[in-house]
Amino acid sequence: MSRLQTTDGLTEEQVELLKLVKEFVDEQIIPAATELEHKDEYPQRIVDQMKEMGIFGLMIPEEYGGLGESLLTYALCVEEIARGWMSVSGIINTHFIVAYMILQHGTEEQKQRYLPKMATGEIRGAFSMSEPALGSDVAAIKTKAVRDGDSDNWTIDGQKMWLTNGGSANLVAVLVRTELGESDSPYRNMTTFLIEKESGFGETAQGVTVPGKIEKMGYKGVDTTELVFQGHKTSTAQILGGVPGKGFYQMMDGVEVGRVNVAARACGVSMRAFELGISYAQQRETFGKKIAEHQGILFRLADMATKVEASHQMMVKAARLKDAGERNDLEAGMAKYLAAENCADVVEQSFRVHGGYGYSKEYEIERLYREAPMLLIGEGTAEIQKMIIGRRLLEDYRLKG
């Protein structure tokens, strides 16, 4: 058992679940990941197995058909799955965020309608904030929902960007502008709609088009798409929580727990890069001895392992705070920032340990080298995390008088 990425205080049930997930990753995901990734092929067989294991319902309460596990348990499972192949963890991460948002902010009717089928994986979730003309500036969203007079009918027009699972999902939580004249703040003029559609590409619902997959340098297998609305008709019943104007805050709550999961994914990728590096260093010989015996390589391994461990412990702290019902925006921001930056560095160091072979597609580290950059921008860039961290610190350490 590795001394890295251990977690104190787990229950027997948590330990057994994580053992089961680790075995699944080692036996089913790692052997298939590189081939599927190079083909940019959706891992349907792996997804079907995760459905059977109940992974899609990990944090959904038992009353809605899920396993009712904590954010910590979920994050530790994501860490393991990302160790096998980051794209698989992406398939469940966006689904989890939508389920979490419905659980926390949805009406009871929305919970009863969606959560049981989300727990089994029959309904698969995606969420959408970004648009082609905006990055981190959520206030600049242009996609708009207009109410038909005083009725409960709405029409949505606009274009969304960077939807993970945009093609495979059949339920999308979409943040749009709804200017009802009740506030000057752009953040109080945004609403989250739950959009039902068919899986696939093309026109997947009335007025809803998924043009096709966006080609990426890494993070393959999982589909990343645009989402185009052209006169899509919906109703107030599809507003998350049933009341317009609360969408920004609902989305930020979802992104906050999403940051814990991005941190977990970075921890998993880091761990795999370390495993590959330390294994290769004990096999490759130069100048008459294993390269692990050279001081320069030994120092790299020590640095990699330290960063793997630091990221994991920060991620665990952020998850436990959220589970305790405490505010964790500071810790989630720190965990996401630290884990993503450390991941990029650990992967590069492992790549350097592999030397020229690291540049070959025959070696797994080549795939990780293309995947790690996505974690630097997913759920908010390093700069956004620093702003969140800095502002939160000023709240706690503001000078008196």
Catalytic residue among 179, 379, 383, 395: 379
Coil, strand, or helix at residue 69?
Answer: coil
Burial of 354 (0-12, 13-18, 19+ CB in 10 A): buried
41 is catalytic: no
Rg (the chain; Cα; Å): 22
Coil, strand, or helix at residue 340?
Answer: helix
The total of other beta-carbon atoms located within 10 Å of residue 395's CB is 8
Residues 6+ apart with CB under 8 A from 239: 191, 192, 193, 194
d(CA 233, CA 157): 10
Among 146, 133, 161, which residue's Cα sits nearest to residue 228? Answer: 161
Coil, strand, or helix at residue 160?
Answer: strand
What is the DSSP annotation of 231-283? EEEEEGGGBGGG-TT-HHHHHHHHHHHHHHHHHHHHHHHHHHHHHHHHHHHTT
Q: How many residues does the chain have?
A: 401
Catalytic sites, residue numbers: 379
